[in-house]
Structure 1
């Protein structure tokens, strides 16, 4: 099997699309709820998302732990649902890959064998590695599967990388996209400039992971003078935990953004919507408590919609922070236009019955 990206997938990646970070469905006993895990994938495909990212932070890193061993099963369930629904239509399947090089390679092999298109390679939790070793690790993984780079914010286990690091990173031959999630405009700009200055600038699609600045990132055209010519670059889509909820609304939003970009006129209400989305994200991601409730916050919205049974996480310490449920109530009250509860309500019975029909 060659390590190239399917041209149709590459085209969709560069056009820009909505890629939700896929949560993990657990029952009351903190065991995998296979029925609802499949339903979630159906929700994302029905919402019009152009891909999903599985095995990422939102899916919970503990799926890899010995005794839990859910990495392969959860990746497989998502692929099965996508293949059933999409039937060969382009859909970007991204697998989260983490850990030291040996673990990363093993996960990359698993993802490739299951039919994933790209590996979102996390550089979190590897504080002992210097930048050179990080580059070697990503290069090694890219020889197994095409890579989606990932700038993870320091508050949740990431670290700051130098401009020079990203400049070399952009030259990795099998790198096709970078998720920018440093939650910091200076660091975001570093990566965009590094990609523009590289020889592979046109090959790399940029995706926002800055859940606190989604609309701003998507509307901004970056411009740099490089070797006496102007080079521009756009963040074309998002791979986001925030887009794991209210996904059909995220698809509408990206469509509005693309229209504004093509017309060269940004409606003021789109900026207001961006601020509202940031406010909503503050309730879901729990930045006031150092993002401790971020996964539980996403799960709580999906639970309220009937897509999940519980908001539980594999790690009992990962739960809603005190006052977070009240904050979620507030954003529901203040920004009702952001949520897609009616879309879910119309379809959830169908998704549920399709599940039942398959297993009887």
Structure 2
């Protein structure tokens, strides 16, 4: 059977660490916890599960800390985990089965990372990450923020998911401060780092700077295709926030230079046209979203609701606004197939029952 070293980097995680470690303890053959400067009870909690606890002097570089944790591993595969991650029961069973049957020639196992959830616990934001990495392949993390490993060798995809469940908000300024610090030090950003720096600028409402950096990233012509598409999408968000709807729509459309339309982009286009009261155009783009093929293995950030529920409920709203209540009801029922317990669908259902009854 495959053996696994679970490797974590932590700092002041007393609120969530016990949850993470208890969810992985029956799977891990070895648990490595690298502490980057905790001042709470993080280390004491970790000691309940492992004696392999190491100190690492924080240097504004997540990759260095991750690589240090991997350097302490001794088992067949390294598995990284964040303190606010948790493995749910059904995924724990799947991971145990994977561990039992994993072929020794596999270099990387990609697993789902669910980071957003609706009230029923259904993932609303998901993507694949490199999660199990064969130790003898000597994988190295890269990127001081939003660190990642470039998969190589034999790669397989698993439906096992890691659920990212935050309890408290981390320092929202941390990543931007790290980027700023690196710039002051004279660091030359890779295209991927330019992309993530631009995203941090957007999240901090520095839209003009974000626009400059997203365009800088695209002009390198060295970006990964999904990041290129995402950059166009974020440029649309920036111009939308600045009140320039024409440029917002233009950049969303520009994303289609790189590949077929993504449902997430089409839903954004539908939203913008709806706000401009161009309902036929909104319907068009929401319909395109419904026709898009969802590919979770592309590496893109996937919003599952953009492939069924959101376009259905929004087309319903468009047709209702246009006075076509029968068609609106049809799309509301499609939305209900995706989310039968959703309050908006149920409220619409009652509304259309009354509306169509009165029409008779």
Q: What is the TM-score normalised by the length of structure 2? A: 0.30
Q: Return the structure number with greater relative CO, CA threshold 8 A, min gap 6.
A: 1
Larger Rg over CA atoms: 2
Q: What is the TM-score normalised by the length of structure 1? A: 0.30
